[in-house]
Amino acid sequence: MSENFTPDSSLQQQMETFEETCRTADLKLTHQRLEIYRELAKATDHPSAEMLHKRLQKTMPTLSLDTVYRTLTTFEQHHLVKKVQTVDSQARFEAQMVQHHHLICDSCKEIMDFHWNSFDSTPLPADIRQWGTIRNKNVTIHGTCQKCQALKKVKKRT
């Protein structure tokens, strides 16, 4: 259902697409931008700016959280990354631009990708189409993941 890791070849391809988009958009390819994008492209857990910052600090100790924020915002404006709609105040990001949907756990806040081709290819009901122009249609499913469910059962027993 979801891919737990990004194979190197597809990461390589994603980096190339990223560099190309930056060049066409006249966006300077700085070391920081490259590393921030690479870290996000590698991630499958839809990290927040804070989470990314923590991971990047290991190799870039001088990188500030503010820079990560600003860079992500710039990326978003150029459609290089997406903000995931969550109910939390902390924005979560992903570099996966291929159409997909999300499962969000209310307890651990884990966000998982899933694909739903039959939904994607189903035309919207007429009254929705009359509402206006649809940019994208994404499904977000909220609930409790199996890991958290198991934890809750353990807690109840003790």
Give residues in contact with Zn ion (CB under 5 A). 94, 105, 107-108, 113, 145, 148
Nearest distance, CB of residue 60 and Zn ion, angstroms = 25
Structure tokens at 130: 């009359």
Q: Least distance (Å) from Zn ion to the CB of residue 82?
A: 7
- Closest approach of Zn ion to the CB of residue 113, in Å: 4
Measured CA to CA, the distance from residue 85 to residue 90 in angstroms comes to: 10
Q: Where are the alpha helices (DSSP H) in the chain?
A: 8-24, 31-42, 49-57, 65-77, 117-121, 126-131, 146-157
Give whichever of 67 and 100 is closer to Zn ion, judged by the CB atom.
Answer: 100
The dihedral region occupied by 89, where left means phi > 0, alpha psi between -120 and 50, and beta the remainder, is alpha
